[in-house]
Amino acid sequence: YNALEQIRVQILKSNSAAASHMLLLLSKMYRNQTRRNLYITIAEECSQSENLINFYMYRYGDFEYEFNIHISIKIYG
């Protein structure tokens, strides 16, 4: 519910571009969570984490992060 509240705040601020991007990120996160696969790859987990981090940047401001994962293991899950 906090995610929806953050989107509502952006709408109240008339920041439709931010609200739209936040909705896109939220829909990607929900879509990935509802997949029927028992396991996901490391690359998919990184993508999911990146969506969540980008979402939180709207609330907490910009911050830096880095994934340091060798490309050869991204296919494993």
The mean per-residue pLDDT over the stretch 6-34 comes to 90
Contact of 7 with 26, CB cutoff 8 Å: yes
pLDDT at 31 over 70: yes
- Residues contacting 6, CB < 8 A, separation 6+: 22, 55, 58, 59
Please give the share of the chain, as a percent, with pLDDT higher than 70.
96
The total number of structural domains in the chain stands at 1
Q: What is the pLDDT of residue 77?
A: 64
Q: Round to whole Å and give the CA distance between 60 and 21.
A: 16
pTM: 0.75
Mean pLDDT rounded to a whole number for the chain: 87
Please give the share of the chain, as a percent, with pLDDT higher than 90.
39
Range of the domain at 66: 2-73
